[in-house]
Amino acid sequence: MDGSTGDFDFLDVTVNGSRCTLQNDKVFTTSIAGKWNGASWSIDPFNFTCPNNTATPVNGAFSPINDAHFFATAVSNMYNDWFSIDPHTSSLVMLTDWVDPFNGNTTNAFWDGDALHFGNGNSDVYPYTVLDIVSHEIAHAFTEINANLIYDEQSGGMNEAFSDMAGKAAEYYVRGSNTWLLGLDLNKGEHTGRHMNDPTADGVSIDHLDDFVPVTDVHHTSGVYNKAFYNLATTQGWNTRTAFEVMVGANQNYWTASSTFEEGFCGVLSSTEDLGYATNDVISAFAGVGIQDVKLTSPQAGSAFFVDEAGLITLDTTLCSGGSTGVSASVRINGGSSLNLFDNGTHGDVQAGDGIFTQEWTPTSEGDNNVAINATKDGRQYNLQRTFYVGADNVSYSVEPTAYNWVSALDRCVGPNHDDGKVELALGIDFNFFGIEYDTAYVSSNGFLSFSPFSVSAHKNMELPNESNLKTIIATYWDDLNPEAGGQVCSAVIGSAPNRQVVITWQNMASWLDTSPATTVSNAVTAQVILHENSGDIVMQYQDVQSGNTSIDFGRSATVGIENSDGQRVLMHSFNTAVIQNQSALRFSQGLNADSDGDGINDDVDNCPNIVNKGQWDLDSDSIGNECDADIDGDGFSNAYEESLKTLAWKSLSYPGADSDNDGILEENDNCPTIANPFQWDKDQDGRGNECDSDIDGDGYSNNAEIAAKTKVWDATSFPDSGLDNDGDTIINGLDNCINNANKYQSDNDGDGLGDHCDTDRDGDGYSNAEEKAAGVSSWDASVFPGWNVDTDGDTRVDGLDNCPNVSNFGQWDDDKDNIGNDCDDDIDGDGASNDAEIAAGTFVADPTSFPARL
């Protein structure tokens, strides 16, 4: 029948008399314009008077519904012709003219599990019924009935990438060739889609495994597999079809729902072997994006060994096949003699036969070095090379508060001026960082810098050492900051050699939470880092870190610290903890053998290097000793802030907004924060509730003294006879804090009004003297108690302070404030519905306003 466009063949339709319906044995196509009934779409078959449909032009396109039907049929034919399969178990339902019924959006295309929807675009883009997008969405349906890749993290990136590959395969099938730009036919102007040949060209996508960060959108992490696919399809002897064939086989037979990038590669390799194609080409294609079944894990590129310090050359051959059978490897360092790598429990190897091969090496001089690996695995040859640096010394750092002295140096305002931006900055000095000298920094708008290039946006701060490729970093105030409301990054070099200082300032950087979209710079973050040329010291200064939003203020959502080139040396001051004050400063100093506070503990191992803390007490196990810890109990609120609100700085369950004694009174308003006192009775009006007041009536005699003397603890006019001295310690009963036990010096270790000689819990930590003696800990020190040094779940939080003592819960998050950490709480949001019940009902486990319907 008539209907060919000249570019493509006829439409495959159903003919009934003079009426043509856009339906065949593979595809059903219709328009859903205006067919939303408030709950679902009303779907009727689209038909027209044969032979031509010319009645549906939309947004500059002659007939998007024709395009959708034709391209979907072509894609279905591709799967049949190439693989002898249908892309889905049922006919493809194509719905054009889609409009989001809730917000009017028309710029999307998606597979909903039953049908494919295509919007009509807008002033920038044509309708979404172009060939590669139609094939992309159909591929989501294909993946759903095969690997069913979870749409999150690495499996989600693979899911998106496979659909992108399918788009290019469809172009190759229909047109005989393909571009490497996604949605090129969609754009009315300049192309704004993804680039499979260069994913990073869009400024947000990644093209290497090392750049992966779990919080990155799957459309951007897809760049890793997209680039590998491009590498393979453009390899001599390959094309888009053959490259797609191995991916389809992997999706059908080897990938699982939770496959990682590396596991997925193994599936592609197996699929390649099934088809009899060249596996070495696949290995090379994926090596280009950092995915290798034989990989050099030490040294990392740019990482540091140190002179006269033994290090390990390590080769991991375990990916895709465990063990060392069929594997041999050797190494040359700086072109020297070949040395075997071993997997037999010698030469630094930890476990024989596990597929990890090692060789020990001790460098003797400073500078760049080259390591070359030659390996054989399953008959395949691998040649790996890497350059790494040998430093002069093994450097460590200490951190301490220092004098705040803001430097108003804004000589070079270098940008970046957009969200999640970064800029390369020539320092003007050689700066020594963990034993390596750098002259260039890469500064992120998100409050940190790195001495190594990085490609991820890093809008979400991470704990150090971090999980991404962000190494050699100085996190001054790493948070999701946005300069688009007038913020800027400026730098200056002050002083003269060899004592110059590089000052880098993040000026008026508003939190993204407060600027989405960016509108104002009021109450924005202003902080700076100063790099000292001579000493290598790093000074971080904070002019303003308060916005009025308690979820982000004072470092509540920021990382402050430093990390070296391989993530093995880290000094983190704070992570998501509100301990950074306005007009404060921190100094990170180098040094191994100094003992700045003279307490007999070297600075490099001293948890308070500048304040005497001989016992190295560390209540919250954060490696910052009690004597210098701005947040002793690790509850996220500074000691000063807790003291100002009268919460307990040494008890993690007592913090602003908490109610540790469950009496219905918030900690900061409770006159007895650790003992239930719901009516807040305070007989003597001294600000201390009756339930925890050692002298309820304020007559100068403790309750215990009055009870012993049989006077009234509630009556200030009733107190012990001043002449009695029951215990003969020369202290009359009325003034004696131990009436019946001699306590001449009236010692009272915990200040509870009860003398040490008659106090069954003399340090006031909630454990009796007898219990502490039995446990072998001091009964005089409230910071040590039974279980104070026991950490059952290994999350660095001792059991006595852990809201999940048997389940690792590093952040101690407790959404519903019930003192049961999220990781062991059956009802995280405290809405009365268990997590399992909410998951089954499709409601949110972390939102108390979202819960299953209640009868």
CA angle 61, 33, 11 (to 5 degrees): 50
Tokens 């270790």 -> residue: 749
Q: Is the pLDDT of residue 2 over 60?
A: no
Tell me 107's DSSP state: -
Instruction: Indicate whether 286 and 311 sit together in one domain.
Output: no
How far apart are alpha carbons 737 and 740 in whole angstroms?
9
Q: Which residues contact 325 (CB under 8 A, 6 or more apart)?
A: none
Instruction: Indicate whether 273 and 322 sit together in one domain.
Output: no
Q: Tokens standing for 695?
A: 């002298």
- 248-257, 570-579, 712-721, 730-739: the lowest-pLDDT one: 712-721
Q: Tokens standing for 845?
A: 């486990």
How far apart are alpha carbons 618 and 629 in whole angstroms?
8
Share the mean pLDDT of the chain: 82
How does pLDDT run across 781-801, given as a tens digit for each residue?
A: 777 777 767 778 777 777 777
| Average confidence (pLDDT) over 146-165 | 94
Residue 809, φ and ψ in degrees, nearest 5: -150, 70
Q: 424: pLDDT confidence band, cut at 50, 70 and 90?
A: confident
| pLDDT on residue 649 | 66
Task: Please indicate, yes or no, if residue 581 is contained in any of the structural domains.
Answer: yes
Q: Is the pLDDT of residue 528 over 90?
A: yes
Instruction: Indicate whether 153 and 253 sit together in one domain.
Output: yes
| pLDDT on residue 530 | 94
Q: Tokens standing for 656?
A: 């602003």
How far apart are alpha carbons 289 and 231 in whole angstroms?
9
What is the per-residue burial (b if ≥16 Cβ within 10 Å, else e) of 371-408? Answer: bbbebebeeeebebebebbbbbebbbbbbbebeeeeee
- 27-41, 190-204, 306-320: the lowest-pLDDT one: 27-41
How does pLDDT run across 24-69, given as a tens digit for each residue?
A: 999 988 887 767 666 676 677 788 899 888 877 888 888 888 998 9
CA of 200: how far to CAs of 178, 666, 841, in Å?
20, 50, 39
How far apart are alpha carbons 634 and 632 in whole angstroms?
6
How does pLDDT run across 630-649, given as a tens digit for each residue?
A: 887 787 778 787 777 666 66
- Is the model more confident about 436 or about 168? 168
Residue 427, φ and ψ in degrees, nearest 5: -70, -35
Instruction: Indicate whether 276 and 308 sit together in one domain.
Output: no
Domain boundary among 551, 575, 592: 592
How does pLDDT run across 707-732, given as a tens digit for each residue?
A: 877 777 777 777 776 556 777 777 77
| pLDDT on residue 1 | 31
Radius of gyration of the chain (CA): 34
CATH number at residue 83: 3.10.170.10
How far apart are alpha carbons 428 and 442 in whole angstroms?
14
Q: Is the pLDDT of residue 3 over 60?
A: no
- Is the model more confident about 74 or about 316? 74
Domain residues for 207?
Answer: 149-290
Instruction: Indicate whether 365 and 500 sit together in one domain.
Output: no
Q: Is the pLDDT of residue 171 over 70?
A: yes
| pLDDT on residue 242 | 97
Beta-strand relationship, 380-391 and 304-306? parallel
| pLDDT on residue 518 | 38
| pLDDT on residue 82 | 97
| Average confidence (pLDDT) over 291-306 | 73
Percentage of the chain lying above the pLDDT 70 cut: 87
Instruction: Indicate whether 98 and 9 sit together in one domain.
Output: yes
How does pLDDT run across 261-280, given as a tens digit for each residue?
A: 999 999 999 999 999 999 98
| Average confidence (pLDDT) over 657-683 | 76
| Average confidence (pLDDT) over 836-849 | 80
How does pLDDT run across 449-480, given as a tens digit for each residue?
A: 998 887 655 667 888 887 666 788 999 999 98
Return the HEC string of 451-518: CCCCCCCCCCCCCCCCCCCCCCEEEEEECCEEHHHCCEEEEEEECCCCCCEEEEEEEEEEEHHHCCCC
- Is the model more confident about 160 or about 508? 160
Q: Where are the beta strands (DSSP E) in 320-460?
A: 327-333, 339-340, 356-361, 367-377, 380-391, 397-401, 412-413, 422-433, 436-444, 448-450
Terminal-to-terminal C-alpha distance of the chain: 59
Instruction: Indicate whether 265 and 338 sit together in one domain.
Output: no
State the total domains in the chain: 4
Considering 88-97, 500-509, 596-605, the range whose residues carry the highest mean pLDDT is 500-509
Give the active site residues. 137, 219
Domain boundary among 540, 566, 592: 592
| pLDDT on residue 519 | 42
| pLDDT on residue 523 | 62
How far apart are alpha carbons 682 and 696 in whole angstroms?
7
Among 813, 791, 808, residue whose Cα is nearest residue 800: 791
| pLDDT on residue 4 | 33
| pLDDT on residue 809 | 80
How far apart are alpha carbons 450 and 437 in whole angstroms?
13
| Average confidence (pLDDT) over 363-376 | 83
CATH number at residue 168: 1.10.390.10
Instruction: Indicate whether 340 and 422 sit together in one domain.
Output: no
Q: Which residues contact 827 (CB under 8 A, 6 or more apart)?
A: 816, 833, 834, 835
CA of 502: how far to CAs of 181, 315, 525, 601, in Å?
42, 39, 20, 32
| pLDDT on residue 5 | 38
Instruction: Indicate whether 579 and 440 sit together in one domain.
Output: yes
Q: Is the pLDDT of residue 134 over 70?
A: yes
Q: 598: pLDDT confidence band, cut at 50, 70 and 90?
A: low
Q: How far is CA 7 from the centre of its chain?
A: 48
CATH number at residue 302: 2.60.40.10
| Average confidence (pLDDT) over 486-502 | 86
Q: 855: pLDDT confidence band, cut at 50, 70 and 90?
A: very low
Instruction: Indicate whether 349 and 490 sit together in one domain.
Output: no
Instruction: Indicate whether 265 and 226 sit together in one domain.
Output: yes
Task: Please indicate, yes or no, if residue 791 is contained in any of the structural domains.
Answer: no
Domain boundary among 248, 265, 290: 290
How does pLDDT run across 609-619, given as a tens digit for each residue?
A: 778 776 777 87
| pLDDT on residue 592 | 43
Q: Is the pLDDT of residue 6 over 50?
A: no
CA of 601: how far to CAs of 594, 611, 788, in Å?
9, 11, 22
Q: 303: pLDDT confidence band, cut at 50, 70 and 90?
A: low
| pLDDT on residue 222 | 94
Q: Tokens standing for 494?
A: 């002050």
Considering 44-58, 82-96, 222-236, the range whose residues carry the highest mean pLDDT is 222-236
Q: Is the pLDDT of residue 113 over 60?
A: yes
Task: Please indicate, yes or no, if residue 519 is contained in any of the structural domains.
Answer: yes
Q: Tokens standing for 354?
A: 């596990």
Instruction: Indicate whether 446 and 585 sit together in one domain.
Output: yes
| pLDDT on residue 199 | 93
